[in-house]
Structure 1
């Protein structure tokens, strides 16, 4: 937004050479509709609802055969969607708004990381206690245009600091490169997903999160498709969202933990080599998927937070001005229908 990130560098791929990281569900008397899902990292655990829905046959129940592929960053996910290489993806809200500002008709359809899945972390031994104390430093990111960049800029803006003037970003990658950057002092902080922080700690680079608590409301990566898919084939979108929701609920049930871990291992065996760590990582990622307000059920996107995300993008320069219609960037229609909250 995991486990042995030592293998992640080898697993990361460019948009032009995407490689499947999960297999389709068995069974289905009828001919299944083949669709492609792309995620911004090689981690299956970060997309646990997708891989649980694949492994437990929920997509097959909807008549869908899903191939999951991993590419590097939200920008690449949106490129794959807009070029027709993929049907659904999991980018961040900031990159999606920036893409819409360039005329890309991508639409959020399910809030997968209902609580912010990023944090600004520093080495445990660092004297830095607040984002404001990072003035004059370099902050590392996993990718140049991923959701973690917009998030970190948002946090720093909230502390009165300006990108390029008071601090700078450096794309260092994740896993080993991020560990090396923090150890060497090349970067003073790192904008990390919950999984990234867990990996750093697992690698012996103890980090702590200095993100102010008020930023938890900025939800993270979610499920996205193109506007023409919604207009031309709403039944497909509903089927996809229904299977994802079932996968989400199945995974959150503690009684299903072993089955879910097996699904994760099937999708990405190397990530799950250390079963204990994979389990702790899964717990951290799943916790970020639970909304602070459940009045609209799982997967719901608060419109007021979309407004805040847009202001963040404008303040950071990713958007020159407000979008003509911010509500076109997201829809709760399918989520409310499948989670039973539709009035």
Structure 2
């Protein structure tokens, strides 16, 4: 799945946006498509389906764009977008919040999923049903301070002690292998790992963040760009967001066909997992929002407040500059 947080440790100077490799010829000779790229946050999965649909169905082309979907590699999506090496990227509210207080002006353009679907998962046999049950257990994560802070904030609601949790860095290890060998619980997104557990017939207990704190109901993932891109080429930003919005709307209304498009684009993915994940995720993309992608100031402010409370932000954060709804279709 994806890394839950990409912490930017260095500041990047925003450079000009260069052209990208051509992925297909323009439909009309009279109108050459503008080449741009969007870099994913992780390996392709159903969080990204709308992008693949928009490319396959020609929604980006309708907007005059030739969009290349690229993998992040060793350099994360945020870094590539901040440095101007990619015009757009798949990011998270967590990392954009930290980036901005470090002077890296990334901007969220659309919420891919309206509510946080993540939680701390464990096999039922581990008997971890509430944050109190984290005591005496081993958590496997990515070594980010945010992980311990989230665990601690949940445990505080039940007067539990985070110091009684052993936290180890398991990196990108497979969840199902890790919980049978090294750890007791891990942070997952139900739409992918939870669905995979269903297909495997493995019962999980999941402690969802949003069940314990409204402030942890943040946008993850999001589509992002740089302030420089918005200032210098707002028409391209609008075109990209409109194309992506149409792709995600198609995925909402046609999850099975959208899954087929993702599988055609990335044939190495597990067909059953993609199909079931897409069916589960389709209503979650927009959920209770008036339109796909829309973001609320309250959500950005709440999460930043939580980070400040947990001493995870060093610097001033202006939530109004961290996101925009202006490029979404009406």
Partner of 1:307: 301
- TM-score, normalised to structure 2, is 0.82
TM-score, with length taken from structure 1? 0.79
SS in 1 for 2:287: coil
Other structure's SS at 1:125 match: helix
Residue matched to 1:190 = 186
- Residue 85 of structure 1, CA deviation: 2.0
Alignment map for 1:111-122 (pairs within 5 Å): 111-122=111-122
Structure 2 gaps, min length 5: 3-21
Instruction: Give runs of ≥4 in structure 1 deviating > 6 Å.
Output: 161-164
Determine the structure 2 residue equivalent to 1:42.
Answer: 43
Cα deviation code 1:124-170 (max 9, x no counterpart): 222111023213433223x445xxx8477435413318997353543
Q: Which residue of 2 aligns with 1:317?
A: 311
- Cα drift, residue 39 of structure 1: 1.2
The C-alpha deviation readout for 1:18-75, integer Å capped at 9, x for no partner, is xxxxx956652121111111111112422111111011110011111111112369x8
Question: Structure 1 302/151 Cα, relative in aligned 2: closer, same or farther at 3 Å?
Answer: farther
Give aligned pairs, total: 303
Q: 1:49 to 1:26 in 2, by over 3 A?
A: farther
User: For 2:109 and 2:161, how far apart are their aligned partners in 1?
Assistant: 31
- SS of the equivalent of 2:187 reads strand
Residue 298 of structure 1 aligns with which residue?
292
2:110 paired residue number: 110
Output the CA distance in 1 between the equivalents of 2:59 and 2:160. Answer: 46
Write the mapping of 1:100-249 to structure 2, written as runs, cut at 5 A.
100-141=100-141, 143-144=142-143, 150=146, 153-154=149-150, 156-160=152-156, 165-174=163-172, 177-184=174-181, 186-194=182-190, 195-203=192-200, 205-211=202-208, 213=211, 215=213, 217-249=217-249
Matched ranges for 1:28-107 at <5 A: 28-29=27-28, 30-71=31-72, 76-107=76-107
Quick one: structure 1 residues 66 and 168, their matched pair in 2 at CA, closer, same or farther if it must change by over 3 Å?
A: farther
- SS of the counterpart of 2:52? helix
Choose the corresponding residue for 1:265, options 254, 263, 266: 263
CA distance in 2 between partners of 1:44 and 1:127 (Å): 29
The alignment partner of 1:289 has SS state of helix
DSSP 3-state at the match of 1:114: coil
Counterparts of 2:38 and 2:170, CA distance in 1: 26
In structure 2, relative to structure 1, the CA distance for the partners of 1:44 and 1:122 (3 Å cut) is closer
